[in-house]
Amino acid sequence: MSESKFRAAVIGLGRMGSTFDDEIEQGGQFFMPYCHAPTYTASPRTDLIAGADPHAEQGEIFADRWGLEDSQIYADYREMLE
């Protein structure tokens, strides 16, 4: 029996949503992600399926970085959750 996967979406695509890990010095052999998108993509049981941010540029950067299509990025989180 295969394990089911979780579907994750991020509301707020700035530092904690996507880029904070870039600011952390990664020492040693093991690094755990601190912010949302990297944590979801690091888990084999979770698919990152969408993101929402009122700032269009943040959405574009997030989509490029995490391999999402424009149709998976929303300006209004309420629309994303429908």
Per the structure, how many domains does the chain have?
Answer: 1
Q: For 35-80, how does the pLDDT look when each residue is reduced to its tens digit (9 = 90+)? A: 899 999 999 999 999 999 999 999 999 999 999 999 999 999 999 9
Structure tokens at 78: 């309420």
What range defines the domain where residue 67 resides?
A: 6-22+32-81
pTM strictly above 0.85: no
- Residue 27 inside a domain? The answer is no
- Residue 67 inside a domain? The answer is yes
The residue with greater pLDDT, 60 or 29, is: 60
* CATH code, 72: 3.40.50.720
- Residue 1 inside a domain? The answer is no
